Amino acid sequence: MNALRDLARQLLEAGEVKVVIGYEDSRRGVRPAFVSDPADVDRLIFDARCVHNLATYLNPRRGHVKRLGRAAVVVKGCDARAVAGLLREQQIAREDFVLIGVRCGGVFDTPDATGPLDAASIAPRCHGCTVREPSLPEHVVGDLPPEPPVGRDLDAEVARLMAMPAAERLAFWNRELAKCVRCYACRQVCPLCVCERCIVDKTQPRWIEPSAHTRGNLAWHLTRAQHLAGRCSGCSECERACPEGIPIHLLNHFLAGVVRDAFDHVVGDDPDAPAPVGAFRKDDAEEFIV
């Protein structure tokens, strides 16, 4: 924690950055913090409640954050994947920001969690984590905490769904998507939803109906998932942000599996790694095509 604060202080005092985007405690759990004054760096903390993916504040849509000037962002290994995605798609330039990597022992599902980090409370994204030691950031602080407990495995949830008869699966998703009120929290919180004008807001023509009926909701969520296929960094912030508790991230996770199996690609934190989007292999499987 001190290493984090010291580094933040140095960066601010040296004028290397104008703001440090990290985490702070509050009466209702941990939340994102924007520290511009070296005197305030002691607000910064990092612990297992720091579930937010702060990479989203590097998203070029965040004009009001951009205006603060050069930022240093605190990222976990998994968050760095999203940063890599933004770099890969030329949305941000590496020299325009600083990354403060934090060694991570797993995070809770919610930022106001209390009690021990256990199988029940740990975020699914931590399952089989390979990036507890971030590699992309130029600074990495903190000691590597012990192995996190094994929690929910989304592969298992996907498998459970796929095991259902199609009709049941359809019912499941209809039930979930019927709750969607189209607040677009899923999109707004997503570090990789970078579109200047989201397709759902295009009116000429209007491919995706903006109304919160199953027609519009299905079109929206199918499209959203496809647009993130091969790009989604797996932070599942979309699901955390959803006020209706829709398991949105299952769709992303499912497609990540498809991309892995069919396109032999896993989203990592190497900005120079080729993306499967807009790419192909001549021998891509096509057993579904007659």
Interface with other proteins in residues 169-198 (CB under 8 A): 169-176, 178-179, 181-185, 187-189, 194-198
CA distances from 161 to 96, 125, 282 (A): 43, 18, 31
* 30 binding other proteins? (CB under 8 A): yes
Q: Of 76, 246, 269, 271, which one interacts with other proteins (CB under 8 A)?
A: 246
Nearest to 113 by CA among 30, 234, 26: 30
> In the bound complex, what is the minimum distance in angstroms from residue 123's beta carbon to other proteins?
14
Q: Report DSSP state, residue 19.
A: E
Nearest to 73 by CA among 28, 13, 138, 125: 138
Tell me which stretch binds other proteins (CB under 8 A): 10-18, 126-134, 139-147, 210-218. 210-218
Nearest to 135 by CA among 289, 269, 1, 271: 269
Tokens of 111: 């930022």
> In the bound complex, what is the minimum distance in angstroms from residue 133's beta carbon to other proteins?
26
Q: Of 40, 222, 266, 268, which one interacts with other proteins (CB under 8 A)?
A: 222
CA distances from 156 to 94, 127, 199 (A): 36, 11, 32
Q: Choose between 143 and 287: whose C-beta lies nearer to other proteins.
A: 287
User: How far does CA 50 lie from the centroid of its chain?
Assistant: 13
Contact assessment for residue 71 and residue 35, using Cβ atoms and an 8 Å cutoff: no
* 208 binding other proteins? (CB under 8 A): yes
Q: Of 199, 260, 268, 270, which one interacts with other proteins (CB under 8 A)?
A: 199
205 preceded by cis ω (within 30°)? Answer: yes
Site track 54-73 with other proteins (rule: CB under 8 A), x = hit: --xx--x--xxx--x-----
> In the bound complex, what is the minimum distance in angstroms from residue 143's beta carbon to other proteins?
26
Q: Choose between 150 and 162: whose C-beta lies nearer to other proteins.
A: 162
Count of positions on this chain that bind other proteins (CB under 8 A): 106
Q: Choose between 107 and 259: whose C-beta lies nearer to other proteins.
A: 259
* 245 binding other proteins? (CB under 8 A): yes
| Buried-state track 20-40, b at ≥16 Cβ within 10 A, e below 16 | bbbbbbeeeebebbebeeeeb
Residues of this chain, 80-139, that bind other proteins according to CB under 8 A: 89-91, 111
